[in-house]
Structure 1
Amino acid sequence: MGEESGDRVYYVISDLHIGGDEQLEEVEFLDELLDFLARLAETDENAELVINGDAFGLWEFTKVDGLGKFEVLVDTYPELFEQLHRTGANIDITLLPGNHDHELAAYDEYVERFAEYNVDLVQGQSLTRVVGDQVVHFEHGHQHDPNNAIEAWGDPNATPLGYYYNTLVTSRAGQLSDRGRYNWLKDVQAVTPTERMPVWLLSKYFYREMNPVLRYALVPFLLLFNISAVLAVVAGLDILGIWSTPVTVATTFLAQFGPAGTAVWFLLAANVAITGILLLVAIPLYFLRRDVRQTINRFGIFETGLTVDAEAPYKGAAEEIFAEEPQTSIYCYGHTHRPTMQAVDGGLMVNTGTWLKRLHRRDGIIGILPPVFYPSYQLSAVRIAQAPDGVAVEYEPIQKPSPSPEELTLTERLLTLGRKPDTDLPDRAVVAGEETVETVEAE
């Protein structure tokens, strides 16, 4: 399908990640997606739906190969494919592969199978559409992520680093998730960037899987760790006879409260003793760690690490496209799961976010408790259409209730009290020309 007429309205979604082994089969937003598609099936707009990559989690299937994955998808989600067929009878639906469903570009048979459900599968890595007198460039965005870039696009044997991560880690998480105290491991797909995985696993172990008695015994120590570290230094000065005033004052003050003061004194003493030992051990470990890191850096082992800047590669890609193709003024991508809109030289870059759950890291205010990953939904469709003053780009929120409180333990809820994430979507923007982007705040 080539460029469409300039008066068409475009709805864009991405990163649905539908499908995968065992627990990854669950699609928590399926009802909302069906409702959205049903609305488009009844619209009288001259509209097109662009699914901008990672509609399906084909990398997360490890027990079936090739076109067999399509059959599993149809059998598992018959209502979805039936609704795609009905919606596609009213408006055009264009599906662009991402990295997780790269196989859609590797087998021509997929084009025919999706056509049966009125979905036009474009096997390239990008496409363009005309809106008014301007051009919108669509691509998933994995091309600018060194861990997921696929040089041999369309090669069924293409396996970037991200492929191994998802086949070995994500799919395995789907197979094991229901063994936990709560079915949480399947949320591994929502952990972005992937280098947060070890911290997320530590967090879920501590707040979910750790024996409750052990956890509640550790909480006071971890909460008081920073205070205990200071007290350990003060206690050391007292033992050395350098400065005893703080210890004398604290002992006298707590003695005024009788048994309660004594209990607090013993609690602090235990924390100080443990913290003091940890601090003594930490000193040689710090120097050892620093020496090891310096040695590793000399050999350049981590020069191509896993950490990927969330915005810079896409800003550069957008500016390059705008410079090479002056009529193109909107760069629409996904992949990073962050719904963002940013004016750059030559136009506007728009990220379509994800329909997966989002996990917002909340570090402890005091102590050294593991961070809490607060869940939320930011379901939306980006709408791009001609407006009197240019091309309007706006997020249409898809309402979905917040994740169940059961997903957070009581401890996690207490630690994040008053610290819920801001789930507001970016404001509407109007692109009036190559150099002009006006942001209009939502009412």
Structure 2
Amino acid sequence: MGTDGDGSGDGRVYYVISDLHIGGDEQLEEVEFLDELLAFLERLEETDEDAELIINGDAFGLWEFTQVEGIEKFEMLEETYPELFEQLRATGENVQVTLLPGNHDHELAAYDEYVERFAAYNVDLCQEQSITRPVGEQAIHFEHGHQHDQNNRIEDWGNPHATPLGYYYNTLVTSRAGKLSDRGRYNWLKDVQAVTPTERMPVWLFSKYFYREMNPLLRYSLVPFLLLFNISALLAILAGLDLLGIYSIPTEQAADAFSQFGRAGAAAWFLLSLNVTVVGLLLLVGIPLYFIRRDVRKTINRFGVFETELTVDPETPYYDAARAVFAEQPETTIYCFGHTHRPTIQEVDGGILVNTGTWLKRLHRRDGIIGILPPVFYPSYQLASVRIEADAEEDGVVVEFERITKPSPATEELTRTERFFTVGREPEPEFPDRYVVPNDEMRTETERAVSTDAPS
């Protein structure tokens, strides 16, 4: 485990970012937040604080480079982002810049040459899994967090040939998406990195096909049928009851009511009748298929074929990891990680769990309020750095998210149909409130034994 690099930590301010995922094949090389990142680094270049910038894993998408190997990936990064590396050099002349490997850039821990190459840009690459930094009377534990994710855990740390399940997903799916993204009607497939958890991938793909790739005439002709699906399903059931003589519905009266509106009413009645017919046929086929599907699933579950889920619990493993660190290192009160892309501050056993989020685009699912239209994945940014420092007046350590403003790309990336169906339901991402971890010399393991905010 890495330890403090310089001094005692008194008066030092820590800025923490993670999950930039810079680089990759073809379309993945676009960094949509590059201007904001450069501005942030420029601010640290000018600061008078005794500061350290910690980039807590997945700074680079080395898994997403599939056409070059080893240190050649660094050369690709240098060639593609010269402005970023020069800014890192300038920032590193004023503040300490420390880089930890994540799962996407685990290769940084596998080749010693990376240490020398980053040092040329005043970046201290730490090839260990975690580091500790003092802050006032307390200490901070930093690690990316993928070691607690069974799909991305590196069993043999530093092995350049380590290939967990997540490696194959990113080399076969994510990198492929980067190569194909510009072939669509809109360059959207590269956003595959922002889809979390991965179970949402099929739904996201179907949503983007419907709203982006489907022929517009076909889409607009389907919208009325999909919007009326719920009503039509109810009417189809009532019509079936009417045919069976169980319950009679006044269809003739309804037809007469629509006819009063002339051609528009007649067209609406025809559309509704057609919709009811189609839905009725779907229900006749769907009901037996539902029972067959349920029976097949029960049989599969008995054999345990799908016993392991694709996405692990994004919370509990990190609470457990924090408890272990706090118990082993009583002075440590802050467990800082990334990986899950969810900015959070949570109390756990006398300390706090801090997730620094991501600089990638965030996709917020918005299900249709009527009909069976595909959900809309509304894009936004939650760019921020976590600032950690000891404060004598607060008698503790202050942890807070410093927001970096970037407008939502929804206007450019969502179709008119998507924007129409999400009016009034646009996401408003918020960051956790400022938190003070108090200095408490009497803190004991017993007091850390229970945390009301942590899941059991």
**TM-score relative to the length of structure 1:** 0.96
Which residue of 359, 364, 385 corresponds with 2:363? 359
Which residue of 258, 268, 271 corresponds with 1:267? 271
1:192 aligned residue: 196
Q: How big is the shift at 1:319?
A: 2.0
Q: Is 2:322 aligned against 1:306?
A: no
Q: How big is the shift at 1:397?
A: 0.7
d(CA) in 2 for partners of 1:360, 1:161: 25
Within 5 A, what are the aligned runs for 1:70-81?
Answer: 70-81=74-85
> Runs of 5+ in structure 2 lacking a partner?
449-456
1:326 aligned residue: 330
Q: Is 2:104 aligned against 1:103?
A: no
d(CA) in 1 for partners of 2:20, 2:344: 17
The AA in structure 1 aligned to 2:275 is: N
Q: Is 2:427 aligned against 1:421?
A: yes
Residue range with higher mean Cα deviation, 8-17 or 315-324? 315-324
d(CA) in 2 for partners of 1:303, 1:94: 40
Within 5 A, what are the aligned runs for 1:180-219?
Answer: 180-219=184-223
Which residue of 224, 228, 249 corresponds with 1:224? 228
d(CA) in 2 for partners of 1:333, 1:22: 29
d(CA) in 2 for partners of 1:34, 1:171: 25
2:146 aligned residue: 142
Q: How big is the shift at 1:256?
A: 3.1
Q: Is 2:3 aligned against 1:2?
A: yes
d(CA) in 2 for partners of 1:391, 1:121: 26
Q: Is 2:241 aligned against 1:237?
A: yes
Deviations 1:39-97, CA, capped at 9 Å, x for gaps:
10111100000000000000000000000000000011001110101110111000000
> Runs of 5+ in structure 1 lacking a partner?
437-443
Q: How big is the shift at 1:246?
A: 4.5
Residue range with higher mean Cα deviation, 106-115 or 427-436? 427-436
d(CA) in 2 for partners of 1:371, 1:160: 31
d(CA) in 1 for partners of 2:250, 2:331: 71
Is the CA contact 1:234–1:247 (under 8 Å) kept in the aligned structure 2? Answer: no
Secondary structure in 1 aligned to 2:209? helix
1:411 aligned residue: 417
Residue range with higher mean Cα deviation, 412-421 or 254-263? 254-263
2:30 aligned residue: 26
Q: Is 2:387 aligned against 1:383?
A: yes
Q: Is 2:340 aligned against 1:336?
A: yes
Q: How big is the shift at 1:404?
A: 5.0
Is the CA contact 2:378–2:410 (under 8 Å) kept in the aligned structure 1? Answer: no
Is the CA contact 2:359–2:384 (under 8 Å) kept in the aligned structure 1? Answer: yes
2:453 aligned residue: none
Residue range with higher mean Cα deviation, 4-13 or 20-29? 4-13
Secondary structure in 1 aligned to 2:346? strand
2:136 aligned residue: 132
Secondary structure in 1 aligned to 2:432? coil
d(CA) in 2 for partners of 1:420, 1:179: 28
2:451 aligned residue: none
Q: How big is the shift at 1:310?
A: 2.1
Q: How big is the shift at 1:275?
A: 0.6
Deviations 1:85-119, CA, capped at 9 Å, x for gaps:
11101110000000000000001111111111110
Secondary structure in 2 aligned to 1:245? coil
Q: Is 2:395 aligned against 1:394?
A: no
Is the CA contact 2:238–2:249 (under 8 Å) kept in the aligned structure 1? Answer: no
Secondary structure in 1 aligned to 2:275? helix
d(CA) in 2 for partners of 1:140, 1:249: 66
The AA in structure 1 aligned to 2:437 is: V
Secondary structure in 2 aligned to 1:159? coil
d(CA) in 2 for partners of 1:28, 1:364: 28
Q: Is 2:152 aligned against 1:151?
A: no
Is the CA contact 2:63–2:167 (under 8 Å) kept in the aligned structure 1? Answer: yes
Percentage of pairs with the same residue: 75
How many correspondences in the alignment?
A: 436
d(CA) in 2 for partners of 1:71, 1:184: 27
Cα RMSD, aligned residues only? 1.3
The AA in structure 1 aligned to 2:3 is: G
d(CA) in 2 for partners of 1:209, 1:165: 24
